[in-house]
Amino acid sequence: MEPQRPRQRAGLGLASKGGCSQRPRIRNPVERLDRQTFSFHFRNLSFANGRNCSYLCYQVERLKHCSPDSSDWGVFQNRVYPETPCHAELCFLSWFCAKKLSPYEQYHITWFLSWSPCLSCAEQVAAFLKENRNVRLSIFAARLYYFWKPECQHGLRLLHHQRAWVRLMSLREFKYCWKNFVYNQGMPFKPWKKLRKNYQFLAAKLQEILGNTMNLLKKKVFQQQFGNQHRVPLPRYRRKTYLCYQLKQLDGFTLDKGCFRNKKQRHAEIRFIDKITSLNLDPNQSYKIICYVTWSPCPTCARELVDFINGQDHLSLQIFASRLYFHWLKLFQRGLQQLQAAQVSVAVMTRSEFEDCWEEFVDNQGMPFESWDKLEQYSESISRRLRKILLPSNWNNLEDSFRDLRLGSPSPSSLRSDSR
């Protein structure tokens, strides 16, 4: 059965410059949906029938405001007027351009859609994003609209190329919508049958359409390599270095993300530096980079990271390590101290970072992060070690330590068989 959605296209009128010059009739959003409407229209069936309506739940965040106002939340539904039919996406743009948009503010908009945009809507939303560079858009769709048709695939790629973050709604997003956009009467969200299975199917289709921009980590790899246990759990395996990074603008919008592991003679940190350098970031804009690493950097990589970040005032680098690499050796301690001296934030991963890493970099198939035994205890123990290393009283002659770093460091593989 094919998905059903109104096909009228005449009179949408948003394709003009900026997507705001000619607007369909301006409608105000409703605050929330009733439970039955959400459960029926947001059900993530692979092939849906009878879902002729399209719903858009939105959240608008302004850079000057840490959290959105109550007026910046709401829901739009597609409407068909005899003279000007209007899909939910264009109803939102019409309202946003008339009531909210200012060239002097930065915006991050999040959409939760019952259907992904059709080609006509995708073209006009992409044109809007191209003209309004101060707006960033994240789209989470419950279902893909005619995903087998080339024109709909083209629309999704247009949005992706205009910096829109296009994803499928997982269990986390369904729970979020239920809590914030549904008159739930205090009742918890109850997943329907095959929610995860349908998510996996649709996510794979979307990945095929947009291209495999990043290889997600397998669940077993994440659990083994990012585990912060002091000893490798049974059955034994080698712990290697993985580095997952997110490049963000100051408004929180993710420009790029990826995952590296050591390859031949090039450590993951060096491959990460090469990647960021290749992006040719605008030095007049500010960026934040968050890195999750299984092992803290070795002395050589610490030196390279210091050289990379020095003189780049537009970059802020945060490193969260699951474990500390040879933390009892002075040379490795000096590398961490040099990073802190270069204004690089070095910290230990807590449950919050593990959860974020799980959501952003792991093929989790819609399943929530599950903590392993004593995660918080191990994290606190490793944090105490790092704090002791970074105490100013332990910084013995930073000039000498920096000179030692430039002399090079022993190969990690020569220090133990369980190499980075």
- How many residues make up the chain in this entry? 420
Rounded to whole angstroms, the Cα distance separating 310 from 314 reads 10
| 3-state class (DSSP) for residue 289 | strand
Going by C-alpha positions, the residue among 417, 370, 381 that lies closest to residue 229 is 381
**CA 198 to CA 152: how far, in whole Å?**
19
SS3 assignment, position 204: helix
* Catalytic residue check, 173: no
Backbone phi, then psi, for 365, in 5-degree steps?
55, 35
Taking the C-alpha atoms of residue 392 and residue 379, their distance in angstroms, rounded to an integer, is 22
Report yes or no: 120 and 9 within 8 Å, Cβ to Cβ.
Answer: yes
On whether the CB atoms of residues 100 and 65 are closer than 8 A, the answer is no
Task: Give me the catalytic one of 2, 31, 83, 89.
Answer: 89
The DSSP result for 298-367, as a single string, is PHHHHHHHHHHHTT-TTEEEEEEEEE-SSTTSHHHHHHHHHHHHTT-EEEE--HHHHHHHHHHHB--TTP
386 near 380, Cβ under 8 Å? no
Supply the residues annotated as catalytic: 89
